[in-house]
């Protein structure tokens, strides 16, 4: 999949009908945009920080109050999600966009900060951000909570990750399926369980 087409096309489709507002939208539309590329324990990704900047600019043009995080550590992502959840509680619409490494472990989906090592499957709870926690933060908005994941790529941590239980599996391809819950929608860069190309251009 061409990620430039995904980034622009999905943003337009997901936010269709949202009329532009003044830059100061009184917190009615809020967004948290994260682009992680400078991973320390696995090969870096070139595009996510640029993708995140482009998405942040597009959302600002639509009247969103945007928080942009590039190459976020676990603490960066955790703190920004907490603050964002508080803003979402008083907003008409809340959006989270994440580009970077994502993985599924035993049915649970995780978004990976740049400082994660993930030497064991049990480390995810302390080194990564669960997709469920992200969905929970956007769910308190008054209308639509939208999570856009450009994270469906091969899992570089899986090959070196040890398992605490033999039956626990770290998926090597994509994120697991998520059903819509309440007012929250989750959009993927590629079908669940598959990977999306990182691309060789700017996006």
Which domains occur in the chain, in start order? Answer: 3-14+28-188 (3.40.50.1460)
Q: Model pTM?
A: 0.80
Q: Among positive and negative, which fits the CA dihedral 81, 85, 88, 93? A: positive
Q: What is the pLDDT of residues 8-25, one digit of tens each?
A: 444 544 554 454 444 444
Edge-to-edge strand ranges of the sheet holding 108-111: 102-105, 108-111, 129-130
For the chain, percent of residues with pLDDT exceeding 90? 52
pLDDT number for residue 14: 53
Instruction: State the Cα–Cα distance between residues 48 and 77, nearest whole angstrom.
Output: 15
Top-confidence residue, 33 or 102: 33
DSSP secondary structure letters along 13-74: HHTTT-----S--TTSEEEEEEE----SSS---SSHHHHHHHHHHHHHHTT-EEEEEES--H
Q: What is the mean pLDDT of the chain?
A: 80
Task: Give the confidence band of 154 by pLDDT, cuts at 50, 70, 90.
Answer: low
Whole-number Å distance between alpha carbons of 72 and 134: 15
pLDDT range class, residue 180, cuts 50, 70, 90: low
pLDDT at 190 over 60: no
Residue 126 pLDDT > 60, yes or no?
yes
CA pair distance 99, 106, nearest whole angstrom: 22
């Amino acid at each position: 999949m061409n990620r430039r087409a995904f980034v622009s096309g999905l943003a337009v489709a997901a936010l269709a009908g949202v009329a532009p507002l003044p830059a100061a939208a009184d917190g009615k539309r809020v967004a948290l945009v994260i682009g992680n590329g400078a991973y320390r324990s696995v090969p870096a990704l070139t595009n996510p920080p640029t993708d995140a900047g482009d998405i942040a600019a597009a959302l600002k043009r639509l009247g969103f109050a945007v928080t942009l995080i590039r190459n976020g550590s676990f603490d960066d992502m955790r703190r920004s999600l907490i603050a964002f959840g508080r803003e979402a509680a008083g907003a008409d619409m809340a959006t989270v966009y994440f580009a970077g490494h994502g993985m599924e472990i035993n049915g649970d989906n995780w978004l990976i900060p740049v400082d994660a090592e993930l030497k064991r499957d049990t480390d995810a709870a302390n080194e990564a951000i669960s997709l469920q926690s992200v969905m929970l933060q956007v769910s308190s908005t008054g209308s639509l909570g939208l999570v856009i994941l450009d994270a469906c790529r091969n899992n570089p941590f899986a090959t070196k990750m040890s398992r605490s239980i033999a039956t626990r599996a770290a998926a090597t391809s994509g994120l697991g399926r998520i059903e819509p819950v309440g007012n929250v929608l989750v959009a993927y860069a590629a079908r669940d369980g598959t990977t999306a190309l990182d691309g060789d251009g700017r996006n």
